[in-house]
Amino acid sequence: MSENPTTSNFLRSMVAGDLQSGRCQKVVTRFPPEPNGYLHIGHAKSICLNFGLAQEFGGTCHLRFDDTNPVKEEMEYIESIKASVRWLGFDWGENLYYASDYFEQLYTWAEVLIVAGKAYVDDLSAEEIRGYRGSLTEPGKASPWRERSVEDNLALFRRMRGGEFPDGSKVLRAKIDMSSPNLNLRDPVLYRILHAPHPHVGARWCIYPMYDFAHGQSDAIEGITHSICTLEFEDHRPLYNWLLENLPVPGHPRQYEFARLNLGYTVMSKRKLLQLVKDGDVGGWDDPRMPTLDGLRRRGYTPAAIRLFCERIGVGRSDSWIDLSVLEDCVREDLNEKAPRALAVLKPLKVVIDNYPPEQVEELEVPNHPGHPEMGSRKVPFGREIYIERDDFEEFPAKGFFRLAPGREVRLRCAYFIRCEEIVRDAGGEIVELRCNYDPATRGGSATDGRKVKGTIHWVSARHGVTAEVRLYDRLLTTASSTGDDWKAALNTRSVEVIAAVLEPGLAGAAPEDRFQFERLGYFCADRHDSHPGAPVFNRTVTLRDSWGKGGQSPA
């Protein structure tokens, strides 16, 4: 797999033009997450874009937590975000910042607006403010508190900071234009009262700036040259610029917008992801069904595959949906080159080879990767009793089925030809065992007399195989998208199946996050939390090919 870091997009062209024209001397970008949840694949696009642009043009990228809402923010989220950015392959160096570190400066600038007659303290409730704002077709209505004097506003704002008023009783609003066609300019709220401790700065504050007030000024403080946001912030750009133009900030960054990632068959809303966690629909933020970076990592996705995906989908100005299969293809492409092969049987069917010596055990040479001989080979034990996949046998084979059937011969991978001679059933009539014969002259998988077989199947020695828990994960949703209050109706009730599989003995020593291709089955990863050497637990990362097809349901 090769990543292409130079694919053109409008933002790369914009940055190159700004450097060439002299508008900026050095590119400074930032990735500014709010620490109110774990990062998901949509954030990965922004991370790759901001850090990638800085790397490409010899600049720097800051990691800044826009932590302006202590009610929803937690230190757990801060630490998980830092770990995910590092895991994805990016380093902010010394450029780690928090908007909360600028609270004193932001407060001072809020007073500057008040003194200039461009901000006022409002006693309207949040519901009343919404009602006064108007609509897209009707202008807003001025608050009865809009014409308070500078002295009154300044005194009230300082009393707000001093903790004299309860939550929701007062806000600070910018005084812009209640008839503006852009609703974001209709006297937006700049500060609200929240008597809540902050995960980074503790209990020093009881008023907190709104995101729109903190964001642009934080960019200016840090010398950001390109403030790159998703398209939902396009209508906020006039407010971003108004604040920069009306405050004595040290610089004037520019905001650019790109289309956010809409990925099919999963959930891309932090609010909905949090609901899944709280309601117990998943096992946590890092559940392998989740589109969080922690979930994808635990499932077995690689940073390289995610970076390739972000580059492959491109950067545009129009919203569009990306099918989940694009992401799955990227991890297949990466793991196909990197993952060593292994033998595993997920749904075991016992096979007894009657003419094989009962106590004999052979060590067969099996390549670790058929396409990369430099990865070497390993010894795999073979004996009289083995397991094969139940799906590799049919009593009444359909046309086109070339695997094992009564009287039919198949090749065991890197072993021998075997022929099915007898079927053994239990009392209920279920097939529980096959009796076969083997041809000793076909060791290694080829016949000395030149005869051919059409089917090759994998196997594991029954005596030496390791029983292990394997989790077969599938898509989180059964539909490409899910909206409305009943969005949970689209949750895939078959999104995980836990089975007891039989693995070749070498897999017993797999370390957490070791990745393998289980031959003919898919790519699997040793669970980073539950798997331990000697007691492996494997998660299916992805099948070898798209099992959903065009609009179809996964069979697993």
Q: Quote the pLDDT of residue 484.
A: 80
Which mean pLDDT values do the consecutive 10-residue runs of the chain (556 residues) have? 58 94 95 97 97 96 97 96 98 98 98 98 97 96 98 98 97 98 98 96 96 97 97 96 98 94 93 96 97 98 98 90 95 97 98 97 96 96 98 95 96 97 96 97 88 94 97 95 87 96 97 98 98 96 77 44
Query: Tell me, what's the pLDDT at 550?
Result: 46
Phi then psi for 425, rounded to 5 degrees?
Answer: -115, 160
- 34 flagged as catalytic: yes
Best CA proximity match to 293, nearest among 6, 41, 49: 41
Q: Look up 141 and say whether it is catalytic.
A: no
Give residue limits of the domains in the chain: 10-258, 270-338+468-542, 341-464
d(CA 20, CA 5): 20
Domain 270-338+468-542 and domain 341-464 have a common topology: yes
Characterize the bridge pairing of strands 460-461 and 385-389: antiparallel
Contact by Cβ (8 Å): 556, 475 = no
CA 473: distance to chain centroid? 15
- Evaluate whether 546 touches 325 at the Cβ level (below 8 Å): yes
* DSSP one-letter string for 377-405: EEEEEE-SEEEEEGGGB-SSPPTT--SB-
Indicate the pairing of strand 348-353 with strand 431-439.
parallel
Q: How many CB atoms lie within 10 A of CB 393?
A: 22
Identify whether the C-beta of residue 190 lies closer than 8 Å to the C-beta of residue 209.
yes
Count of Cβ atoms closer than 10 Å to residue 282 Cβ = 21
Structure tokens at 1: 């797999």
Q: What is the 3-state secondary structure (H, E, C) of 29-93?
A: EEECCCCCCCCEHHHHHHHHHHHHHHHHCCCEEEEEECCCCCCCCCHHHHHHHHHHHHHHCCCCC
Instruction: Check if the beta carbon of residue 145 is closer than 8 Å to that of residue 122.
Output: yes
Strand 460-461 and strand 466-473: the pairing is unpaired
Q: Which CATH architecture has domain 341-464?
A: Beta Barrel (2.40)
The residues facing 522 across adjacent strands are: 518
Catalytic residue chosen out of the listed positions 3, 34, 421, 513? 34
Classified by CATH at the fold level, domain 10-258 comes out as Rossmann fold (3.40.50)
> Both tokens of residue 242?
């108004």
Are 38 and 292 in contact by the 8 Å Cβ rule? The answer is: yes
Note the pLDDT of residue 431: 97
Quickly list DSSP for 509-533. GPPTT-EEEETTTEEEEE-TTT-BT
Task: Output the CA angle 224-180-118, nearest 5 degrees.
Answer: 60
Taking the C-alpha atoms of residue 203 and residue 195, their distance in angstroms, rounded to an integer, is 8
Q: Cα(194)–Cα(470) distance, rounded to whole angstroms?
A: 47
What letter would DSSP give residue 417? E
What CATH class is the domain 270-338+468-542?
Answer: mainly beta
270 among known catalytic residues: yes
Of the residues 170, 270, 332, 403, only one is catalytic, namely 270
User: In residues, how long is the chain?
Assistant: 556
The per-residue pLDDT for 551 is 43
- With helix as H, strand as E and coil as C, how does 328-372 read? HHHHHHHHHHHCCEECEECCEEEEEECCCCCCCCEEEEEECCCCC
148, 170, 175, 260: the active-site residue: 260
- Confidence at residue 449, expressed as pLDDT on a 0 to 100 scale: 84
| Number of Cβ within a 10 Å radius of residue 140 | 19
